[in-house]
Amino acid sequence: MKKMTSLSLAAALVAGLTLAAPMAQAAPGGCLKYGAAGAVAGHALHHGVRGFMAGCAAGMYRRHLYNKQQRMQAGTVNG
């Protein structure tokens, strides 16, 4: 009985969180997202810290390009 109550409560919680979640945006990740991927890739070559730094730089650059494109589409380019 406890198991069934716990499962139904968990299902209700997940359903509520799913419906209340904001819409996802297709924006590129920044330093942490790309840095984590770079660290994993660098770890395979025994250069995790270097991979993180390279991934972080790539993530910041990708985010900059995305923001620039968004500004151009909105018509508010400031150089």
The pLDDT mean for the chain works out to 79
What sections of the chain are H helices per DSSP? 2-20, 31-44, 48-74
Q: State the pLDDT at residue 32.
A: 86
Distance from the Cα of residue 1 to its chain's centroid = 39
Instruction: Give the model's confidence band at 29: pLDDT under 50 very low, under 70 low, under 90 confident, else very high.
Output: confident
Tokens describing residue 51? 């991979």
- Per-residue pLDDT at 53 exceeds 90: yes
- Per-residue pLDDT at 55 exceeds 80: yes
DSSP 27: P
Q: Once rounded to an integer, what is the mean pLDDT over residues 34-53? A: 90
**Which amino acid type is present at position 33?**
K
Whole-structure pTM value: 0.59
Contact 42, 52 (CB under 8 A): yes
Instruction: Give the model's confidence band at 20: pLDDT under 50 very low, under 70 low, under 90 confident, else very high.
Output: low
